[in-house]
Amino acid sequence: MKYFFFLLISLLFISCQSKFPEKEFVGNRSKTLVSQDSLTIDFPKHYKGKILLVSFIFTNCPDICPLTTHNLQLIQKKAKEEKIDNVSFAAISFDPERDTPSVMKNFTDVRNLDLSNYNLFSGKRENIKSLMETFHIVAIANDTTFTENMEPVYFFMHTDRITLVDQDQNIRKSYRGSEINLEEIINDIKNL
């Protein structure tokens, strides 16, 4: 009987771990960021007590990042339908020199983002770099091309990821950003 309970508890433990393979505390690595509305926050500390889905993007990205920001919109919509209200969404730019608050604001306006619990952030280069390390994100500028006026145009090769952070500021799971399983993410949010 003793062994049966031990086995049961072990199985429950393994089952919980497989749902959330990661547990890395990031609450003590906050950095100052600025939103599309020019509001300054400490990230991720600002979201303590909330479940957070975070992605790193650049607004000049023509393909992968719009898919990721759109996928965050889909999760946001589904969460509202399911009456989940303790979740927030953040997309942080790794191109802060170009992604000023006004540029990010135009990005949210053109895409009709619901900003009630979804924000874009930019900030000082050193803060962005530190947060990218915290969230294990890599972005390398590449494929520079030139316009007729010889103005350089550059893109990034980058990690394609949405990261789930729990209410206690632990990274719990990572998903591909540009292609998602909506049900999986909603179930994971419900299980936190």
Residues of the shown chain interacting with other proteins in the complex, contacts defined by CB under 8 A: 59-64, 66-67, 70, 103, 106-107, 109-112, 138, 140, 142-143, 145, 147-149, 151, 153, 155-160, 178-179
Let me know: does 187 contact 40? Beta carbons within 8 Å.
no
Nearer to other proteins, 117 or 174 (CB): 174
CB of 118 to other proteins, least distance (A): 14
CB of 5 to other proteins, least distance (A): 41
Let me know: does 71 contact 53? Beta carbons within 8 Å.
no
Helix (H, G, I), strand (E, B) or coil at 103: helix
CB of 35 to other proteins, least distance (A): 17
123 conformational bin, left if phi > 0, alpha if psi -120 to 50, beta if neither = left
Nearer to other proteins, 24 or 160 (CB): 160
* Phi, psi (deg, nearest 5) at residue 134: -60, -40
CB of 38 to other proteins, least distance (A): 17
Radius of gyration (C-alpha) of the chain in whole angstroms: 18
